[in-house]
Amino acid sequence: MPHSSRLSLILSFPLLLAAAPLGAQSLDVPFSTYCPPDAQAACFGAATVMGLNPNGDGFLAVRTGPGSQYPMIAKIHNGDRVGVYGARGDWTAISFGPDNRLGWAHRNWLGDFIP
């Protein structure tokens, strides 16, 4: 790809991210799952929920934004695989479940990352 085409793609990438649909789910802090068809590297990765105390709540809260102040929209459990799209501080933007819902989860309980 010529340098000017790559530069144009890089400069327009944030605009493409903002335009990506999020589906029916509403997040307080949305993120993009868009990956350009000609991407040279992986746009997202995967991780496994792990380390949750079996004597505790037994779940990892999925929230509408990157913080415990945001509403919980789902619960995921040890061994669940999630897609990873980015991070803000200690919070990771994820997709989860059979219908690939979107949300935010605390990174302390995500491991076995595949970039």
Contacts of 87 by beta carbon, 8 Å cutoff, 6+ apart: 66, 93, 107
Q: Name the pTM for this structure.
A: 0.75
Evaluated on CA atoms 106, 107, 111, 112, the torsion sign reads positive
Q: Are 63 and 71 in contact (CB under 8 A)?
A: yes
Q: Are 36 and 44 in contact (CB under 8 A)?
A: no
**Per-residue pLDDT for the chain (115 aa), expressed as one digit of tens each?**
443 333 333 333 333 333 334 444 599 999 999 888 887 777 889 999 999 988 888 899 999 999 999 999 999 999 999 999 999 999 999 999 999 999 999 999 999 988 7
The two structure tokens encoding residue 6:
């790559």
